[in-house]
């Protein structure tokens, strides 16, 4: 009950109404959100494919990560910012969507996968950096990442068209 009250309060704020009713702001936020998604997902895809051992087998995983991490973080910052504003504009409708709640859970799982990878395997990347194939746990983290992020994208698209 408290959550519904919070969501209704958010939706009734002047900033929420302004975003929702703007001819330009809402579509610009949506477009920027998709741009951020592309900026984040392309490098994640490349790094995960390296972790799985599909591409760039001759390149050190640490080198691939170092090259892609700045773009990934920029895209992540963009999607968090725009996604938060999009949610702020219609929190009640978003939360009522089962697709949005699925997306939310998948985002948490994808973040947890990244946190576990970077706090365990990534700390010892020097031990397996150029291994072919990479360790099973690294390959599993890559497959799980690809699966979760793909599911996040699908849930997000369904959310956008089923509000």
DSSP tag of 135 = P
**Mean of the per-residue pLDDT values for the chain?**
93
Sign of CA dihedral 135, 140, 143, 149: negative
pLDDT band at 163 (very low <50, low <70, confident <90, very high): low
Both tokens assigned to 46: 């490349």
pLDDT tens-digit profile of 121-161? 999 888 888 888 899 999 999 999 999 999 999 999 998 88
Percent of the chain with pLDDT over 70: 99
User: 53: alpha, beta or left, given left = phi > 0 and alpha = psi -120 to 50?
Assistant: left
pLDDT tens-digit profile of 86-127? 999 999 999 999 999 999 999 999 999 999 999 999 998 888
Identify the CA nearest to 65 among candidates 54, 132, 73: 73
HEC-encoded secondary structure of 16-37: HHHHHHCCCHHHHHHHHHHHHH
Mean pLDDT of 16-25: 95
User: 56: alpha, beta or left, given left = phi > 0 and alpha = psi -120 to 50?
Assistant: left
159 in Cβ contact with 103 (< 8 Å) = yes
Total-model pTM: 0.89
């Amino acid at each position: 009950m408290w959550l519904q009250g919070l969501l209704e309060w958010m939706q009734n704020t002047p900033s929420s109404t302004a975003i929702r009713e703007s001819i330009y702001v809402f579509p610009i936020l949506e477009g920027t959100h998709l741009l951020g998604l592309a900026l984040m997902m392309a490098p994640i895809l490349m790094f995960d494919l390296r972790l799985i051992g599909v591409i760039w087998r001759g390149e050190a995983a640490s080198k691939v990560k170092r090259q892609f991490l700045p773009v990934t973080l920029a895209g992540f910052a963009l999607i968090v910012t725009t996604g938060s504003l999009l949610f702020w504009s219609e929190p009640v409708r978003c939360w009522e969507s089962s697709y949005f709640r699925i997306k939310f859970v998948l985002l948490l799982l994808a973040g947890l996968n990244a946190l576990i990878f970077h706090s365990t395997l990534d700390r010892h990347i020097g031990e397996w950096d150029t291994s072919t194939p990479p360790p099973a746990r690294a390959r599993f983290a890559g497959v799980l990442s690809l699966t979760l992020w793909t599911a996040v994208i699908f849930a997000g698209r369904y959310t956008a068209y089923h509000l």
